[in-house]
Amino acid sequence: TMLAEYTRELQAQLDAVYAKTRALDDEFGPARRAAITRCEADLAAAREALGAVELEVNALPRSERSAGLEELKAHKAKIAALAADLKRAVVSLPRDELLGRDDPEEAATLRGEREEAHARLLATHDRTRAGTRKLRDAARTVAETEEIGAAIMGDLAAQRQTLMHSSGVLRATAERLDRSRKLVAAIGRRAWQSRMIMRVMIAMLAVLVLLLLYFMMAT
């Protein structure tokens, strides 16, 4: 990604500036001044790279941004420490040129202070990177949990739709069965009524036949 590329470039520039600032202890006079100028130019380029990294970090999703901001904070601290080293080198430059850096003990003391400061900076940077990795892992876990939760919610919604559809089908089937039951009952009533009418008509015809026979025999 662009963020990874910018971060690698920034780290390479910071390593180069650190190496050059350590080499300042071995430079004297005009060569030392020129080396300081080169370090300042490199540090300015590192600040520009830091700006590019910051833009990419701000463009990250919210779940990943906190880890990127922690790493960005560590890079800013490293740049601030390197800038402080260069500032001390610039302040000490007139004295070094005046004295010619003839005191090896002082040079060794300064070198030791620089190495100690760098060791502290590296330790802080390592702790920050470890915290950043943990934050990224936590953010990844949260994102995966959100994806699983969304999938479960989608499945539940689909099952709810299926149940609602099945319930509708059952209601429609029950309504059809009720109408069929009523229709069968109506047909049964009509059949009973038809049978009763037929029986009455047969009885009436039998009575008429008997009456006709009676009158015929009577005459």
Q: Which residue has the higher pLDDT, 109 or 98?
A: 109
Cα separation, 65 vs 67, whole angstroms: 6
- What does the angle CA 28 – CA 31 – CA 33 come to, to the nearest 5 degrees? 90
- For residue 109, the model assigns a pLDDT of 55
Residue carrying structure tokens 């080169």: 38
- For residue 119, the model assigns a pLDDT of 64
Cα separation, 192 vs 108, whole angstroms: 124
Q: Over the stretch 55-83, which tens digit does the pLDDT of each residue have? A: 878 877 777 777 778 888 888 888 888 88
Average pLDDT value for the chain: 77
- What average pLDDT does range 15-24 have in this prediction? 79
3-state helix, strand, coil in the chain (%, to 5): 95, 0, 5
